[in-house]
Amino acid sequence: MVKGRAARRWWCGGALLVSVLALLWLSGCAEVRSLQPQGLAAERIADLWWFQFFLALPFFLAVVILLLIAIRRHSRGGEVRPRNHGMTMIVWGGAILPALAMLALMSHTIYTLVGVTEPAERAELTVEVQGKLWFWNIGYSNSDETIFTANEIHIPAGEPVALALSSDNVIHSFWVPELNGKRDLIPGVPDGFWLQANQPGTYHGQCAEFCGAQHAKMHFLVIAHEPEEFAQWLEQERQPARMLMEGDENFRGQQVFLGSACIGCHTIRGTDASSTIGPDLTHIASRQTLGAGTLRNVTGNLAAWIVDSQQFKPGNLMPPMPLPSEDLIAILNYLQSLR
Ligand code: CUA
């Protein structure tokens, strides 16, 4: 009977271990997202993590060893009696050492918090980041105007970039694991944050606060360029689209766009489309994804998205647009010319 119970316990333990390993293995099916720090703030956070890990390790090992000794004595039928130096153990092991460890941990945490909250040097560039349902509006201002793009934050590499975070709907959380920690976007409470990418590259970002049905499809990219390349990108991004005239290539596509429901939600700078409910489409063709990382921005996906984005991202504000095929092709060609 006792033997049967022990065997059952072994089986349960084995099954649990296999399930945990299977879960770890299956998690490899998800797209690989790196947690390797690639920026100043993320490095400080990783340092804190390792500090905490190595600080906790000896305590953990000591507790496990003491526990094993006690189990061994108990299983041999020996009596576990308090020793004379029990009090010393309690004072050192239960008070002094933990207090010192907590003090060290607290100091390092405060030091890291200060380091990740404010950039070491004043940032020259400030990027506006607005959390929407469910995408990100990204704004660049100069003395004349603020231009918007969506779901892609282009920055110069190797320098701190300030972010002005805001939300006019629900709470979102801005997170680029490789570059910095998380920062919530609280409606009505504009907040500052910053990023720095040590090297040019593309870094994945994700909303990290549940914000509704499509929270999981609220991705974004941080694209860090060499500073000169970034200046060129910004210069290009500032250019409005050209208002096309009859006889111009893609004129029909533009007219379909301006004559349909598209104009009720989107902006294409330079044309009559100036609504700000959905993402700005002035340079839509230069972006990598559609629907905040839902689909890759290629012709077939763009067509499917226009016809019925609800099948990819149910609940988003864009209604299905069942256009006649010639109109759809015209609008596709027009949108893909907006680079
Ligand atoms: Cu926005 Cu989750």
Pocket of ligand 1 (CB under 6 A): 131, 134, 172, 207, 209-211, 215, 218
Contact 185, 174 (CB under 8 A): yes
104-142 pLDDT, tens per residue? Answer: 999 999 999 988 887 767 889 999 999 999 999 999 999
Distance 216 CA to ligand 1 centre (A): 7
Angle (CA) 227-220-110 rounded to 5° is 80
Say what the pLDDT of residue 256 is. Answer: 95
pLDDT at residue 259 is higher than 90: yes
Where residue 18 falls (left for φ over 0; alpha for ψ -120 to 50; beta otherwise) is alpha
Q: 189: which strand partners?
A: 186
Angle (CA) 92-98-103 rounded to 5° is 130
Distance 172 CA to ligand 1 centre (A): 4
Q: Who's near 205: CB < 8 A, 6+ residues apart? A: 153, 174, 175, 176, 219, 220, 221, 222
188-216 pLDDT, tens per residue? Answer: 999 999 999 999 999 999 999 999 999 99
Ligand 1 atom closest to residue 170's alpha carbon, by position in its atom list:
1
pTM score of the predicted model: 0.82
231-240 pLDDT, tens per residue? Answer: 999 999 999 9
Distance 185 CA to ligand 1 centre (A): 9
**Ligand 1, atom 1: closest residue by C-alpha:** 172
Ligand 1 atom closest to residue 207's alpha carbon, by position in its atom list:
2
Ligand 1 atom closest to residue 185's alpha carbon, by position in its atom list:
1
Distance 180 CA to ligand 1 centre (A): 17
Tokens of 318: 């864009």
